Structure 1
Amino acid sequence: LKESFIVSGSQDLTLKIWKLPESISSKQVKGQLPGMEGLHAACTEKAHDKIMFVSRGTQLVTSGSDGLLKLWTIKTNECVKTLDSHEDKVWGLHSNKLDNALVTGSADSSIVLWKDVTETELAEELAKKEDEILKKQELSNLLHEKRFLKALGLAITLDQPHTALIVIKAILQEPQGKDDLEKNLLRLRNDQKEAILRYCTIWNTNSRNCHEAQCVLNILLTHVPPDTLLQYSGIRGTVEALIPY
């Protein structure tokens, strides 16, 4: 905000931003009380006790009698994160000069140090997306080279049922498709076989994919011992989903 302003917190569960020098309420965030309009679940249940500006004045951190810390974006009046580590009222709320850490003290006799990990999380998310792009390219190469076992394993690693289905369809299009499918499925690890069975419950609901699903089911149910199948963590749900078909 370009204007000079102050922020107040109240026992009525509201935060108000006041312009100066007029001291007129320009923005208000209200809690969850009957007949009150505002942000759903963006409030403290008891009261706002401490308020602090962070992120170069673009956000607020509030602490309340419910022991929760809430991070608010001033421009949108939105609570973007709720932090829960205290069991009682938060009496102390302070930040460092670098504006990347907070310390809170509570009536529950605990002191908690909070660190801003926004940049770390963004970097991790970016690295994850880049890794997924590389794996998708690798998968495309594996399919082109007809390295089906590794392609199927990679699709399961990415947890992409549709991609796994594409691999299975490609295998079945080979001259010895059913034999190749059996050979590749039986070479999978048990956790990978369990994932494929779970995918079958999705494929089997679509008439365009039920043939592939039935091929996979026939192979696994014929060659994997019942005792091994019963060890799969999600086998009950998988069987229940397949029974209607």
Structure 2
Amino acid sequence: IWDCQFSSFDRVVATASGDHTVKLWSLNNFSCVRTFQGHTASVLRVRFLSGGLQLASSGADGLLKLWTIRTFECESTMDSHMDRVWALDMSSDGKTMISGGADSRIIVWDDNTKEIEDAKRATEEENILMEQKLANHLRHKEFDEALKMVLKLDKPRQALKVITAMVENDLQAGLDPCNSLKKHVRGWEMDTTAQILRYARDWNTRARNSDVAMIVVRAIVAVVPTNTLSTADGVPEILAGIIPYAERHFERLDKLISSSYLIDYTLSSMGSLIEEEGDGR
């Protein structure tokens, strides 16, 4: 055992040992209540933080790890040291951690949990607002605004939703499914075209999205000259990634069509039998 630390908040003690683990022991009955595994070499130092809810450990593998006691989870691994981390301690306010290693470096770590949570919350709020705006655009069939928004935010899943709605609207109006898409393709820069092709490549990996993906490819190929696509940066590689899955989907459709002939034959035979029975009566 290289180190031990008594908790100021509970009747437990944490130990760091040469078996690559951090253990938490109860002072009531001296039993091991938690074992934290993740270091690949001896654990040299351990400290409590976050009001006794978390542990920080450092090891001979040059890593610092942050553990949540309740869930046994390693929340973060820090690898700025190049050698054994012999020293580890916390500031009095618990917001700063200092580590020192055999690499002759002392590193000060600040707790940025609040900033990360704030950024995550802001992202979630932005996504909710974007989903609301997108739903409003689709409800009013404002496909132009909806598509511009999802492309600007680089949201492939929402882009699939917009293009699917656009295609369905064209089909309901008795138009070619590529009709609206072709109008958009004519106004796209090549970067936007490549972006949409990347989306289509990813959509095409799933059978249920392959029809929309193929409609997108068809609209682009019909509008953009072949020599322009072949010389555009990254586009030939994207198209090469679309082809294998497209061939697989076409083979699947061919098999379904072939199987449908058996259904037609069965129904036709059933009709003949019904007619014969009717004549017999």
Scaled by the length of structure 2, what TM-score is found?
Answer: 0.72
**Contact 2:167/2:180 (<8 A) preserved:** no
> What is the match of residue 26 of structure 2?
19
By how many angstroms is 1:73 displaced?
Answer: 1.6
- Percentage identity across aligned positions? 30
> What is the match of residue 194 of structure 1?
194
* Counterparts of 2:207 and 2:48, CA distance in 1: 57
Q: Aligned runs of 1:1-245 on 2, under 5 Å?
A: 3-20=10-27, 22=29, 24-29=30-35, 42-156=37-151, 157-160=154-157, 161-173=159-171, 174=173, 178-204=178-204, 210-225=210-225, 226-233=227-234, 235-243=236-244, 244=247, 245=250
**Contact 2:143/2:162 (<8 A) preserved:** no
Instruction: Mark the CA change 1:138 to 1:93 in structure 2 (over 3 Å): closer, same or farther.
Output: same
**Contact 1:62/1:71 (<8 A) preserved:** yes
By how many angstroms is 1:72 displaced?
Answer: 1.3
The alignment partner of 2:220 has SS state of helix
Q: Which moved more, 1:109-118 or 1:52-61?
A: 109-118
**Contact 1:197/1:238 (<8 A) preserved:** yes
**Contact 1:171/1:180 (<8 A) preserved:** no
> What is the match of residue 35 of structure 1?
none
Instruction: Mark the CA change 1:171 to 1:55 in structure 2 (over 3 Å): closer, same or farther.
Output: same
* Counterparts of 2:130 and 2:200, CA distance in 1: 23
The alignment partner of 2:51 has SS state of coil
Instruction: Mark the CA change 1:68 to 1:209 in structure 2 (over 3 Å): closer, same or farther.
Output: closer
* Counterparts of 1:203 and 1:87, CA distance in 2: 42
> What is the match of residue 39 of structure 1?
none
How large is the RMSD of aligned CA atoms in angstroms?
2.7
By how many angstroms is 1:237 displaced?
Answer: 4.2
The alignment partner of 1:82 has SS state of strand
The alignment partner of 2:13 has SS state of strand
**Contact 1:64/1:90 (<8 A) preserved:** yes
More helix, by proportion: 2
**Contact 1:155/1:163 (<8 A) preserved:** no
By how many angstroms is 1:204 displaced?
Answer: 4.6
**Contact 1:60/1:73 (<8 A) preserved:** yes
Aligned length: 233
By how many angstroms is 1:136 displaced?
Answer: 1.4
By how many angstroms is 1:85 displaced?
Answer: 0.6
The alignment partner of 2:88 has SS state of strand
> What is the match of residue 278 of structure 2?
none
The alignment partner of 1:98 has SS state of coil
Give the greater-gyration-radius structure (CA).
2
Instruction: Mark the CA change 1:194 to 1:7 in structure 2 (over 3 Å): closer, same or farther.
Output: same
**Contact 2:204/2:242 (<8 A) preserved:** no
By how many angstroms is 1:203 displaced?
Answer: 4.7
Instruction: Mark the CA change 1:15 to 1:207 in structure 2 (over 3 Å): closer, same or farther.
Output: closer
* Counterparts of 1:9 and 1:66, CA distance in 2: 13
By how many angstroms is 1:192 displaced?
Answer: 2.6
Larger RCO, structure (CA 8 Å, separation 6 or more)? 1
**Structure 2: 5+ residue stretches without partners:** 1-6, 251-281
**Structure 1: 5+ residue stretches without partners:** 31-41
By how many angstroms is 1:84 displaced?
Answer: 0.9
Instruction: Mark the CA change 1:144 to 1:185 in structure 2 (over 3 Å): closer, same or farther.
Output: farther
Scaled by the length of structure 1, what TM-score is found?
Answer: 0.81
Instruction: Mark the CA change 1:25 to 1:237 in structure 2 (over 3 Å): closer, same or farther.
Output: farther
By how many angstroms is 1:119 displaced?
Answer: 1.2
